[in-house]
Chain A
């Protein structure tokens, strides 16, 4: 587990350094993800310990957003002042993004006669 955690941090650190060095508009961890992904492609497989560590971390992914979310307490008055614009914009644009993205993917899949589409959803 320690090796796997270290590997994840090394990828993130490398990502952060490259992003700053080359001034790329991308978060360091996202580039770190690309680096790890490339590494797995080269190695052709995921080591078991890395798989386990990643599963442990990712099965609790939403916990990690709680501290930033609690930051809402700093902005209560600003949100109250513009609650309609903020609320409507967030809710509607999120629904639009979900619909447009899924719709485009399904449409393009059908156009190319994709055999993967049509699995069971919930």
Chain B
């Protein structure tokens, strides 16, 4: 095959959503396979593997993020309907939710405050400026609303999206070992903790381990988004206003 022909094929592939959509799925499936082969080792998080592989490929081929997103947007779009679908595991656990509603709400609000205040405090102590603090503060909240909060506080929404993903991966990796260390065996408490700290990525992991944990994690993710969206801007104006 001649170079000119190869060049033409590359031009077609690089400008067509098909290539990057397919690569994203392959990178994720490969990551999932490694993750399962390792016996669900949290260090081999499939999202982390897929992101590292994709960034490397895009870097090597000199592809911009905008070009990549042309293809990846189809996957990204499904986040919305998937969030809506979390109502179903939650409904399946309705009796458990009803029995422990007050404790559940209190834990989520306390957890939500601890997530954003500790993030702000630690980043501030290590010399972060106001823009970075506002960018980091909503990191435990699910992506779209975290970006909204970040913008309202004067942060950088697109960097916040990255912080949110990193937080999700960290929570999915380190959350379960910490809960084991604390000897917490209640699936509801484990699910809530992972959902508050690590939103949808944590919920995805919780769902694989146990249905109760998955349902409570999804609930915690939704209520944490609400709680942070209301409380964080108020706290922010007290702290820095």
Spell out A's residues near B (CB within 8 Å): 5, 8-9, 11-12, 15, 25-30, 32-37, 40-41, 46, 50-51, 53-54, 57-59, 61-75, 78-79, 82, 84-86, 88-106, 108-109, 112, 114, 116-122
Contact = CB atoms under 8 A, between A and B. Distances in A.
Contacts of A63: 24-25, 28, 46-47, 50, 75
Contacts of B78: 57, 64
Given A89-B128, A94-B115, A122-B176, A69 B200 contact: no
Interface in B110-142: 110-112, 114-116, 118-120, 122-123, 126-128, 132, 136, 139-140, 142
Interface in B147-189: 148-149, 156, 158-159, 161-172, 174-176, 178-180, 182, 184-189
A48 to B, nearest CB: 11
Given A72-B55, A97-B118, A104-B107, A65 B200 contact: yes
A41 B186 CA distance: 25
Interface string B92-114: 10101001101110111011101
Nearest to B66: A74
Contact of B100 (A28, A102, A116): A116
Interface centre among B76, B122, B182 (most CB of A within 10 A): B122
Contacts of A11: 84, 87
B85 interface: yes
A57 B208 CA distance: 13
Nearest to A120: B185
A8 to B, nearest CB: 4
Contacts of A82: 127-128, 132
Given A15-B84, A116-B96, 18 more contacts: A9-B81, A28-B80, A29-B83, A29-B144, A30-B225, A36-B85, A62-B45, A70-B72, A89-B123, A90-B139, A90-B167, A95-B178, A98-B171, A98-B198, A101-B192, A101-B197, A105-B103, A109-B103
B100 A99 contact: no
B67 to A, nearest CB: 11
Contacts of A79: 162
B99 A116 contact: yes
B54 A66 contact: yes
B111 A64 contact: no
Contact of B65 (A35, A73, A109): A73
A85 B137 CA distance: 12
B144 A106 contact: no
Contacts of B204: 58, 61-62, 65
17 contacts: A27-B225, A33-B218, A71-B161, A72-B162, A85-B122, A86-B163, A88-B122, A89-B120, A94-B175, A94-B198, A96-B114, A98-B175, A105-B186, A109-B188, A112-B102, A120-B185, A121-B179
